[in-house]
A = this chain, B = another copy of it.
Amino acid sequence: MFIVDCDCHNYWCSATVLEPYLDGLWKDMFVRGERTGPVGAFPHGHRPWFHPEGFGRADVQPQTEDDNYLIMKEKHLDKYNIGIAILTGDEPIESSTLANPHYAAALCRAYNDYQIDYWLPKDERFMGSIVVAPQDPHQAAAEIRRLGAHPRMVQVLVSHGAQRPYGDPFYHPIFEACAEVGLPFAMHLGGQGGVNATPIGAGPTTFFWETHALLPQSAMTHMASLIAQGVFEKWPDLYCVIIECGVAWVPSVLWRLDSNYRALRKETPWLKMLPSEYFRRNIRFSTQPLEQPKNVQHLWAVLEAMDGENTLMFASDYPHWDYDDANALHIPAKWREKVMGLNALEVYKRIPRPLAVAAE
């Protein structure tokens, strides 16, 4: 089976790997300036919720920069026969939390150049993400256009923590650039600090485990906002990919959105379909961490209600604490080929279709 891993984190040991890709004021700030952690930390406004054990898997302990790839190759890419791994970085999406959008944009440019120089040549299976800082949509759009023609950059990536719901017209320059270069807009769990809005309604909550359980709320908001604000009417071919935000909540939100839209659609006369129809056409979810009920049939009923066979795409979240094993993903057997890889080929059109798959 052809597997596309839609969320594979390429770590660094130290953010100093970005130094060669920065210059002028930004290099000076990066080398000499204050940051949240010690020298080597990536600048960002840290969440107030601290993971009580750290995010990494205990068995992934790189000692050198090269280890980051070598361990990934051994414990993930080769072990599970991953066909394509879409690199999602790790800290770079946290640039969304910085008050200074110019610095945030410079850090994203540096990361993207480093990713293209250092990571993509390491393995043919790697595809990259153009990370942008959404707090200045115009600089973000410029970065999308700068790198949008690169054949191995397959999506635009931001954190799901944001200053506003992503449907807001403030962000439309980003979607315009995505549409122009033909790339999906992806958001990944993260960015819960600094200048971003509180990620949780009636929050903030207190403990890491309860907070992490509630973080899908921001994704609910973005999904509703992208639909209601008409983003998928303005750019009908745009895919939005929502990564690491859970999936079992999706039908419950779509049912409410559809009911309310039916009753009060006059508020948004630009829409031509039900919210659930925009979802089905334009939005995709990565699976990890797939919810784990006692009775898997309850989950499968929910996944069926969101047409999961066609809207879900496998992700491992390597090498995080709540990693999902590609062999053990608890989805209906007859969905496996689509969810493990074929659905991603529809969304990420730059991924070369393997001969074995093309023949099917």
Contacts and interface: CB of A to CB of B under 8 A. Distances in A.
Interface stretch (A57-65, A257-265, A342-350): A257-265
A220 interface: yes
Interface stretch (A69-77, A78-86, A301-309): A301-309
B267 A208 contact: yes
Contacts of A208: 260, 264, 267
Contact of A206 (B168, B215, B216, B252): B168
Interface in A311-325: 321-322
Contact of A221 (B164, B201, B321): B201
Interface string A194-209: 0011111111111111
B301 A209 contact: no
B197 A201 contact: yes
A253 B214 contact: yes
A269 to B, nearest CB: 11
A298 B305 contact: yes
A162 B221 contact: no
Contact of A217 (B220, B228, B246): B220
A295 interface: yes
A253 B199 contact: no
A207 B162 CA distance: 18
A14 interface: no
Given A210-B260, A214-B224, A205 B267 contact: no
Given A252-B291, A301-B298, A202 B217 contact: yes
Most chain-B Cβ atoms within 10 A of its Cβ — which of A196, A212, A224, A263? Answer: A224
Contact of A164 (B164, B202, B224, B304): B202
Interface string A242-275: 0000101101110111111101111110000000
A207 B246 CA distance: 25
A301 B202 CA distance: 28
Nearest to A261: B209
Which bracket fits the contact residues of A?
Answer: 35 or more
A307 to B, nearest CB: 11
A350 B276 CA distance: 43
Contacts of A198: 197-198, 201-202
A161 B202 contact: yes
Contact of A228 (B200, B209, B228): B209
Nearest to A302: B302
Contacts of A251: 248, 293, 298, 302
Contacts of A117: none
Contacts of A304: 298
A149 to B, nearest CB: 31
A53 interface: yes
Contacts of A263: 209, 321-322
7 contacts: A164-B202, A200-B221, A201-B220, A213-B260, A214-B256, A249-B249, A298-B302
Given A201-B214, A208-B260, A246-B252, 9 more contacts: A51-B264, A53-B264, A201-B203, A201-B221, A209-B228, A209-B268, A248-B252, A251-B293, A251-B302
Interface of A: 51-53, 160-162, 164-165, 167-168, 196-210, 212-218, 220-222, 224-225, 227-229, 246, 248-249, 251-253, 255-261, 263-268, 289, 291-293, 295, 297-299, 301-302, 304-305, 321-322
Top 8 nearest A-B pairs (CB, nearest first) are A301-B301, A201-B217, A248-B252, A213-B256, A298-B305, A202-B218, A209-B260, A255-B291
